[in-house]
Each structure stands twice: as C-alpha cells, then as structure tokens.
Amino acid sequence: MGRRALRAINPALDLGPYLSTFDELPRPWDAAALFGRQAPLAVEVGSGKGLFLEGAASAEPNVNFLGSEIAAKYARFAAARLARRGLRNGHVLSGDAMRLFDELLPDESLVAVHVYFPDPWWKKRHHKRRVMNEKFARHIVRTLVPGGKLHFWTDVQEYFEISLEMLRATTPLKGPFEVVEKPAEHDLDFRTHFERRMRQHGAPIYRSEWVK
C-alpha cells in the first residue's frame, strides 16, 4: 500500500511560523521562542502528512506540539495543514528527530513523546536503524517530565513486541498500558493517515502507552 501523491500546497500560505530546519531551531533550546509562548511541550517523531499534529494542536490548545519529519516534502505538507488552520501551537521540524533529542532537548522538557508507525526496516540487517532502540529509550526517559507519557503504535507485531521488551528491560517507564481502539466518527478521525489506511484495510494495530 504505497503513499498517495501529495496535494499541491497553496503558495499563498506562509509556512514560516510553522516550519523550521534543524539549523533554524533556537539555540540554546527555547521552546517559547519557537512557539511564541510558554506551554507544555509534546514531540512527535515522524509526522508524515501531519494528521496527528493538526488534530492534537486543535484538540489541546494549551499544549505546544513539535513534529519532526525527515522527508522535506512531507514536512512542508504537515506545516501547511497547521498554517491553513492557524494552529500556532503546532510546528514541524524538517529534519532528523534524533538530532533534536541528541543535541537540543533538555532534561524533563516534554510532557509526551509520540511515535506512530515508524519505519519497521524489515530486513534483519537493517533493524539497527529502527527508531525504537535503547539510545532513544534513554532520551525518552531523560526528556519526559515525571508523569510524562510515551505513545508508541505500530502495525508490525514483531517490532511492537521487541520494543516493549526493550522498554521493560532498559527503562523505568511504567507500562505498557492498553490503548483501546475507538470508532472513527468521520473519515479523518484517526491518529494518523497510516492508522486510517490500516484500519480501512482491516489490518491490526498494536498500541501502547508508557508513563514516567
């Protein structure tokens, strides 16, 4: 099930307040400078077309949401979703989320980390490229505030089970807590476009929530 071609972005949209490259992020890290206000911060790793960012920023206006997307065309598309609705509590990093965690995010700076349907890197020799690994798990623990949450979903059972075992063995996070699938109330009432596609095809989705 390949991705559909992206719709054209309205050239009149000003993406400036909604999109940054890694080099454009504030240094030293200052989320208030990025969003223009102080508020709890959540990070999404791999934003794709930005459905989660748009929905979350709209539903939780008191939280700042920073998405990261390594594919520049998808990062721009996600930022355009935010710009169309004027959701200034949403922002997209066009770049590698791991650099964000490695180089910028301070300890206890996030209320949530969201990881939805990351690339499973199917071949065994490529498993080391998977985002859910011990190094990233340490960053999750380091950057979450007490009571902060990790949300991890995938459609790959093997990846899910290996990741849960790794999180149990290497972190103090509590979980995994069950996440119940809710009926969709409309065509875009899904966490991500990938969830929408999987559920429309009847494919199982494995969901977990962890708490620091």
Q: Encoding tokens for residue 114?
A: 């969201």
Pick the catalytic residue from 96, 102, 119, 155: 119
Q: Encoding tokens for residue 73?
A: 């065309």
Assign domain 16-211 one CATH number from 3.40.190.290, 3.40.50.150, 3.30.10.20, 3.40.640.10: 3.40.50.150
Q: How far apart are CA 176 and CA 208, in angstroms?
A: 5
Q: What is the pLDDT of residue 34?
A: 96
Q: Encoding tokens for residue 169?
A: 């063995």
Residues in a beta bridge with 93 = 20, 68
Strand order across the beta sheet in which 41-45 lies: 19-21, 90-94, 64-69, 41-45, 110-116, 144-154, 206-211, 174-177
Q: Encoding tokens for residue 57?
A: 């920023």
Annotated active-site residue 23? The verdict is no
- The residue type found at 190 is F
Query: Which tens digits make up the pLDDT trace of 156-209?
Result: 899 999 999 999 999 999 999 999 877 756 666 457 666 667 667 667 889 999
Query: Which tens digits make up the pLDDT trace of 81-96?
Result: 999 999 999 999 999 9
pTM given for the model: 0.92
Q: What is the pLDDT of residue 116?
A: 95
Query: Which tens digits make up the pLDDT trace of 7-60?
Result: 889 888 999 999 999 999 999 999 999 999 999 999 999 999 999 999 999 999
Query: Which tens digits make up the pLDDT trace of 108-167?
Result: 999 999 999 888 767 778 688 889 999 999 999 999 999 999 999 998 899 999 999 999
